[in-house]
């Protein structure tokens, strides 16, 4: 996962070469170093064959500033034709350092002149492609050392509702002190939620997991990567979990270079001795808080009828009850008593307040704290309870000895607040409520998935953009899925017995319970976000952009034009206006749903990479699966619809090992496992780079993922295997990216999975899934999906549709070859055109480069995605060369029956964001870069 520093937005306006029959023409015409030429003249010779190519026009570049914050480039790369003011240089430090990136101007010129010899025509960062760049080197990260302040400290617990509106993850809870921070559970979306609501995750000292599974820990990898990239040296953090939590850390080490920063603190064992199991385990005991834990091991009725040894309890089966105790609050300091005991005002007063005895200034006596302080007040106590099943609750009832001190009307220790992470099914049971009533006087916050939270989207900024897009073009941006009545009923608030005096409240996002100062003890709803509905959002939009009303009507008219009247498009080689594979296509054939369209890390407006290929009744395929993919599916299709989508998955394909492309995988697989638990089914096939298998194998020691793994190398085109690839020929610079030694393949294990994949594809109406190497990092791939062909009315064979997804890559011959005649090319466009040097340094593509690949391949439609988070709402682009291209947004749904309209919507999208394209979004980008706010 690459951290994208903020720099200014630059526009690159140019005229581009028209489509050329020779794919290498596009690549050979790219000269990144000529864009930033150090002399004052434009290159007079761009291509050796320019004199004979009368039909081609060469690029002419003019760079204009389009941001409020100017930026200063390194003086070595200054071009006097640019209109750039001075400013901050830190954001281009990596790309300016050509020696470190392996990008000398001389070398780049050689690459342009002889693409085959160089192995890459448009330039690339060899060290990064081989995994040897600076970003992959581990850091020696130290734990933070904070000076605690037990006197007059501020403290509260706060609900951070990571997945409460979609029920995809467990809510997180923040325990806040002015000098320490503790997080309980880190489900998917935590980082994105905190970015939006300005909660500084960089301040976190400890993370506690109530269970070790995807539901509670899915957001941990992304959070740790962000902390590792904070500042010059990064930040280290303690992570606590029950039993064999180290397996999760081992799994993350496969893709987190700085996994050494994770100081894992495992506690408890899977020992079946009930005496050990119910012990109260002390975890932290310092001046400001004491945190202890009680393990809850389920009774596991499934073991009945089996030998004891047949049952293997995994770490994910164990849950934890956490007890947080603040120290007692000492009584009020009595000044008169202090004076009478011979004490002068000064430091000794503070020492006494801190519990330290001092010697009198005027008398030969020792003065003790009890001599000058009033009666102490017991410190507040908070319990966090996670009982995922009734079996766990039975174990909780057996923990009587550990909790006895908190029970009764006059307990030894009075609990002020109990936060219940348990699901509604458990909380609504009469036995559970009887147990709750044993904590007399305590406030009970029901933080499990509640109906009340359905109406309030967790990610309000994203929801606002989605509502505006839906108003403009509901065909490509459908309204969010509705919740079914069945799911609503299961999320009803707890039914509290009238005979009890339970004080319960349904949790809301950012709800606080103050612990200190004592005068503020209790609930605080002042930070709870207000509900803003679609009507209010659209009213604001109409006030801001009055012409959007007419634009919405004009967009609707695009669908009323008969497809047969569409004029032939000049860039198509076919005789008709649309490819033959789209003739007579129905709306139930295929749809592309862009679930995440941002790069690096989730932000307020864009989630990370994930593409859902909806084949309707024939199932679905997932291309990449970044963190939060399941939540995005539920926002798009609703709870029931998302469950059906997950059950219908035919396979999941992962492009490369960077975390923004695969860390949502475990959550999807775990849900599918649960949904199909009692239904005959085959394990889901996951296709990915071989490093991904290490992560999945380690993770399966925590919980069964019910999947089969297939290396991308075994899904390459048999007619053009990697051994014959021009990109990775023997001796080429990029050979190490594709295949390294010591990677033997056992075909006896692989063949059955390949045969299974063929059957799965056949059921899905697909002819093939073909992976091909691209240039980004070791073992990076793109993919081709081919739909099944059909027989036309005249008996001729019509090839099926073809979707090509680039993954993360520089423009390369393999991608152009794979995308030949594609119906849709989904191509990453991380950077705007002015940032070609940074694109090369990070092995990504610019907008113009992505479109150039599509033009060279003769793709019918191009969808640009994977935008740098420096462009929070809409990327910088020049629509003059976007004639068959569209910009992707989260939740965008492109049905193949609508492909003819796709590029015509782009000008209206530009109108919708006309006030956003030059707005300084520094806060958004800074928050993304540091997971702070």
Q: Between residues 523 and 39, which one has the greater pLDDT?
A: 523
DSSP assignment of 636-649: HHHHHHHHHHHHTE
Return d(Cα 155, Cα 152) in angstroms, integer: 10
Around Cβ 720, how many Cβ atoms within 10 Å? 15
Structure tokens at 907: 């000008």
Residues 106-159 have pLDDT tens digits of: 333 333 344 333 334 468 898 888 887 766 555 556 666 676 766 667 999 999
For residue 870, the model assigns a pLDDT of: 87
Around Cβ 475, how many Cβ atoms within 10 Å? 17
Residues 27-57 have pLDDT tens digits of: 443 333 333 332 333 333 333 333 333 333 3
Mention every residue, 6+ apart, whose C-beta is less than 8 A from residue 304.
none
Q: Considering only CA atoms, which of 374, 284, 371, 294 is closest in space to residue 332?
A: 374
Burial class for 530, CB neighbours closer than 10 Å (0-12, 13-18, 19+): exposed
Mean pLDDT confidence for 12-17: 34
Mean pLDDT confidence for 155-180: 88
For residue 517, say if its preceding peptide bond is cis, omega within 30 degrees of 0. yes
Residues 248-287 have pLDDT tens digits of: 777 787 777 655 467 788 887 665 554 455 678 999 998 8
For residue 644, the model assigns a pLDDT of: 96
Let me know: does 442 contact 504? Beta carbons within 8 Å: no
Q: Considering only CA atoms, which of 396, 606, 420, 608 is closest in space to residue 502?
A: 420
- Percent of the chain surpassing pLDDT 70: 71
Return d(Cα 89, Cα 97) in angstroms, integer: 12
In the numeric block, the tokens 């020691």 are attached to: 701
**Quick one: pLDDT band at residue 927, thresholds 50, 70, 90?**
very low
Phi and psi angles of residue 20, each rounded to the nearest 5 degrees, phi first: -125, 140
Has residue 689 got a pLDDT over 60? yes
Has residue 477 got a pLDDT over 70? yes
Mean pLDDT confidence for 355-375: 91
Let me know: does 458 contact 166? Beta carbons within 8 Å: yes
Q: Considering only CA atoms, which of 118, 66, 210 is closest in space to residue 775?
A: 118
**Helix, strand, coil tally for the chain in percent (to 5):** 35, 20, 45
Has residue 763 got a pLDDT over 50? yes
Q: Between residues 565 and 371, which one has the greater pLDDT?
A: 371
CB burial string 870-906: b at 16+ within 10 A, e below:
bbbbbbbbbeebbebbbbbbbbbbbbbbbbbbbbebb
| Strand partners of residue 791 | 797
Let me know: does 872 contact 907? Beta carbons within 8 Å: no
For residue 743, the model assigns a pLDDT of: 52
For residue 266, the model assigns a pLDDT of: 86
For residue 135, the model assigns a pLDDT of: 61
For residue 824, the model assigns a pLDDT of: 98
Q: Between residues 168 and 184, which one has the greater pLDDT?
A: 184
For residue 44, the model assigns a pLDDT of: 33
**Quick one: pLDDT band at residue 515, thresholds 50, 70, 90?**
very high
In the numeric block, the tokens 């690339």 are attached to: 124
Residues 63-122 have pLDDT tens digits of: 222 333 333 223 333 233 333 232 333 333 333 333 333 333 333 333 334 433 333 446
For residue 142, the model assigns a pLDDT of: 62
Q: Considering only CA atoms, which of 413, 852, 340, 892 is closest in space to residue 606?
A: 892
Return d(Cα 90, Cα 871) in angstroms, integer: 18
Return d(Cα 841, Cα 864) in angstroms, integer: 20
Around Cβ 841, how many Cβ atoms within 10 Å? 26
For residue 472, the model assigns a pLDDT of: 96
Return d(Cα 466, Cα 733) in angstroms, integer: 44
Return d(Cα 883, Cα 862) in angstroms, integer: 9
Return d(Cα 258, Cα 236) in angstroms, integer: 10
Report the half-sphere exposure of 105 (CA within 13 A, side-chain side).
10
Q: Considering only CA atoms, which of 665, 661, 746, 673 is closest in space to residue 711?
A: 746
Residues 834-863 have pLDDT tens digits of: 999 999 999 999 999 999 999 999 999 999
Least confident of 391-405, 507-521, 582-596, 771-785: 391-405
For residue 48, the model assigns a pLDDT of: 34
Q: Considering only CA atoms, which of 279, 229, 281 is closest in space to residue 256?
A: 229
Has residue 772 got a pLDDT over 50? yes
Let me know: does 868 contact 609? Beta carbons within 8 Å: no
Burial class for 131, CB neighbours closer than 10 Å (0-12, 13-18, 19+): middle
């Amino acid at each position: 996962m690459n951290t994208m520093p903020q720099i200014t937005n630059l526009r690159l306006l140019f005229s581009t070469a028209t489509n050329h029959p020779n794919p290498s023409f596009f690549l050979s015409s790219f000269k990144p170093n000529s864009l930033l030429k150090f002399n004052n003249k434009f290159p007079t010779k761009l291509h050796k064959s320019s004199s004979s190519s009368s039909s081609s026009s060469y690029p002419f570049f003019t760079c204009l500033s389009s941001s409020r914050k100017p930026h200063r480039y390194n003086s070595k790369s200054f071009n006097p034709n640019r209109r750039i003011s001075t400013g901050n240089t830190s954001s281009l430090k990596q790309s300016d350092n050509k020696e470190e990136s392996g990008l000398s101007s001389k070398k780049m010129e050689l690459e342009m002149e002889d693409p085959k010899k160089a192995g890459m025509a448009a330039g690339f960062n060899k060290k990064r492609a081989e995994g040897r760049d600076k970003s992959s080197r581990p850091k020696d990260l130290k734990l933070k050392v904070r000076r605690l302040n037990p006197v007059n400290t501020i403290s509260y617990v706060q609900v951070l509702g990571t997945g409460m509106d979609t029920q995809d993850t467990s809510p997180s809870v923040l325990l806040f002190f002015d000098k320490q921070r503790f997080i309980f559970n880190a489900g998917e979306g935590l980082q994105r939620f905190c970015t939006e609501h300005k909660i500084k995750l960089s301040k976190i000292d400890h993370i506690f997991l109530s269970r070790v599974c995807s539901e509670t820990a899915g957001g941990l990898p992304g959070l740790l990567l962000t902390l590792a990239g904070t500042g010059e040296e990064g930040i280290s953090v303690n992570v606590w979990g029950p039993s064999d939590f180290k397996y999760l850390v081992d799994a993350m080490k496969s893709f987190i270079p700085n996994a050494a920063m994770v100081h894992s603190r495992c506690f408890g064992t899977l020992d079946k001795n009930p005496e050990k199991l119910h012990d109260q385990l002390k975890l932290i005991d310092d001046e400001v808080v004491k945190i202890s834990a009680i393990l809850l091991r389920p009774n596991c009725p499934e073991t009945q009828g089996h030998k004891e040894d047949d049952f293997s309890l995994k770490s994910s089966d164990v849950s934890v009850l956490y007890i947080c105790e603040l120290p007692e609050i000492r009584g009020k300091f009595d000044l008169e008593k202090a004076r009478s005991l011979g004490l002068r005002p000064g430091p000794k007063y503070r020492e006494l307040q801190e519990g330290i005895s001092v010697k009198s200034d005027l008398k030969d006596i020792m003065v003790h704290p009890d001599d000058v302080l009033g009666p102490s007040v017991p410190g507040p106590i908070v319990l966090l309870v996670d009982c995922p099943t009734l079996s766990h609750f039975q174990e909780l009832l057996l923990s009587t000895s550990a909790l006895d001190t908190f029970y009764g009307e006059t307990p030894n220790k009075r609990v002020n607040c109990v936060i219940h992470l348990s699901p509604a099914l458990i909380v609504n049971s009469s036995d559970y409520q009887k147990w709750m009533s044993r904590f007399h006087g305590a406030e009970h916050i029901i933080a499990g998935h509640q109906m009340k939270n359905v109406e309030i989207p967790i990610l309000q900024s994203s929801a606002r953009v989605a509502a505006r897009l839906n108003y403009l073009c509901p065909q490509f941006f459908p309204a969010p899925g509705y919740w079914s009545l069945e799911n609503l009923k299961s999320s009803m608030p707890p039914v509290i017995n009238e005979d009890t005096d339970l004080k319960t409240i349904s949790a809301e996002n950012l709800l606080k319970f103050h612990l200190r100062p004592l005068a503020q003890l209790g609930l605080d709803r002042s930070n709870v976000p207000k509900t803003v509905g679609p009507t209010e959002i659209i009213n604001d939009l109409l006030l801001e952009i009055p012409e959007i009303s007419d634009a919405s009507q004009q967009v609707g008219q695009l669908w009323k034009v008969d497809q047969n009247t569409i004029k032939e498009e000049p860039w198509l080689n076919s005789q008709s206006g649309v490819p033959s594979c789209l003739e007579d296509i129905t709306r139930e054939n295929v749809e592309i749903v862009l679930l995440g369209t941002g790069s690096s890390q989730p932000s307020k407006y864009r989630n990370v990479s994930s593409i859902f290929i909806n084949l309707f009744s024939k199932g679905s395929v997932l291309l990449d699966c970044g963190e939060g993919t399941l939540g995005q599916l539920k926002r798009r299709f609703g709870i029931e619809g998302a469950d059906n989508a997950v059950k219908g998955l035919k396979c999941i394909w992962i492009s490369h090992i960077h975390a923004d492309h695969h860390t949502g995988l475990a959550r999807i697989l775990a849900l599918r496992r649960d949904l199909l638990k009692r239904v005959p089914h085959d394990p889901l096939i996951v296709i990915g780079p071989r490093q991904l298998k290490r992560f999945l194998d380690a993770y399966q020691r925590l919980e069964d993922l019910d999947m089969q793994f297939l290396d991308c190398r075994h899904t390459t085109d048999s007619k053009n295997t990697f051994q014959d690839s021009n990109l990775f020929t023997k001796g080429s610079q990029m050979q190490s990216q594709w295949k390294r030694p010591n990677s033997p393949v056992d075909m006896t294990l692989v063949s059955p999975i390949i045969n299974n994949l063929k059957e799965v594809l056949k059921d899905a109406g697909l002819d093939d899934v073909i992976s091909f190497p691209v240039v980004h990092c070791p073992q990076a791939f793109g993919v081709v999906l081919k739909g099944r062909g059909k027989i036309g009315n005249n008996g001729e064979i019509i090839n099926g549709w073809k979707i090509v997804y680039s993954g993360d890559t520089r423009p390369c011959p393999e991608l152009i070859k794979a995308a030949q005649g594609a119906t849709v090319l989904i191509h990453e466009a991380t950077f705007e055109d002015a940032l070609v040097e940074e694109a090369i340094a990070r092995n990504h593509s610019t907008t113009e480069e992505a479109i150039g690949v599509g033009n060279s391949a003769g793709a019918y439609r191009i969808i640009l995605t994977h935008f740098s988070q420096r462009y929070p709402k809409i990327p910088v682009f020049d629509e003059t060369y976007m004639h068959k291209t569209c910009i992707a947004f989260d939740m965008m749904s492109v049905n193949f029956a609508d492909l003819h309209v796709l590029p015509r919507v782009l000008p209206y999208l530009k109108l919708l964001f006309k006030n956003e394209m030059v707005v300084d979004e520094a806060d958004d980008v800074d928050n993304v870069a540091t997971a702070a706010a």
